[in-house]
Amino acid sequence: MAGNDPGHKPPGHPGIALQNTSFLHPKIAMNMSTINKALAGSLLLLSLHFGAKCQQNLPPVTVTAATNVEKAVTSSFDRNFPDALDAEWYRMSKKYLVRFMMTDQQNSALIKKNGQIVYHIGYGYEKDLPSDVRMIVRTHYPDFSITTAITVQEQDRKIWVVNLQDKKKLILVRIEGGELEEVGNYNKTM
């Protein structure tokens, strides 16, 4: 029976399989406007410890009961991310988290049942930064290497979270609307 098949895919959407999210921490579904400095610092430490591609290597947990991704959700996803590949779906209460690849970057998006995108996160590197954002970072931190660049899009907001390092320091900055804010500054241990 297709409904009990662990790899069950919604009709009309080849390659989209729903996954279980009972293993995910509830804070993943929180509103992105509440990201604070502690979370930003955690992003820095996690990205340095595990590397930017660690999420890509997590094994999906398969749903064993009949579930489907809402049509409004998949339509919104297809419309907003037409070049997305390898989508993995996770149900989170009344929302859906989708992880996917697009333009050689790992991405995730949280989408409501009605198809409204709550947020979109893209995980990248210096090459993925827009030139104006790169210039802002380089002006403030000319001697630092950019190790990762994460973009968070929520409603009309676009926020860049950039990890920097030199021989002695790890720094986390946040750029929104052309304004840079340092949210983490850590000494490396030798």
Residues 78 and 149 in one domain: no
Which is it for strands 85-92 and 95-102: parallel, antiparallel or unpaired? Answer: antiparallel
- For the sheet with 145-154, list strands across it: 17-19, 85-92, 95-102, 105-112, 117-124, 145-154, 157-165, 169-176, 179-187
Residues 113 and 156 in one domain: no
pLDDT of res. 6:
43
State in Å, rounded, how far the first CA of the chain is from the last one.
Answer: 58
Q: How many domains does the chain have?
A: 2
Please say which residue of 94, 118, 142 terminates a domain.
118
Which is it for strands 117-124 and 85-92: parallel, antiparallel or unpaired? Answer: unpaired
pLDDT of res. 72:
93
CATH number at residue 139: 3.10.450
Position with higher pLDDT, 48 vs 70: 70
Residues 136 and 182 in one domain: yes
Segment 56-74 shows an average pLDDT of 59
Q: Quick one: what percent of the chain has pLDDT higher than 90? A: 58
In a domain, 30, yes or no: no
Tokens of 135: 């210039």
Q: Which of 152, 153, 141 is nearest to 185 (CA)?
A: 141
Residues 95 and 168 in one domain: no
| H-type alpha helices, 109-151 | 131-140
Distances (CA, A) of 36 to 7, 21, 109, 174: 37, 24, 19, 11
Q: Lowest-pLDDT range, 33-42, 110-119, 157-166?
A: 33-42
pLDDT above 90: residue 38:
no
Residues 99 and 79 in one domain: yes
In a domain, 56, yes or no: no
pLDDT of res. 21:
38
In a domain, 28, yes or no: no
Confidence at 27, pLDDT banded by 50, 70, 90: very low
What is the domain range of residue 102? 1-23+61-118
CATH number at residue 19: 3.10.450.360
In a domain, 29, yes or no: no
Q: Which of 163, 166, 124, 147 is nearest to 44 (CA)?
A: 163
pLDDT of res. 189:
87
Torsions phi, psi for 158 (to 5 deg): -130, 115
The span from the CA of 51 to the CA of 45, in Å, is 10
- The per-residue pLDDT for range 102-159, each reduced to its tens digit, is 988 999 999 999 999 999 999 999 999 999 999 999 999 999 999 999 999 999 999 9
Confidence at 47, pLDDT banded by 50, 70, 90: very low
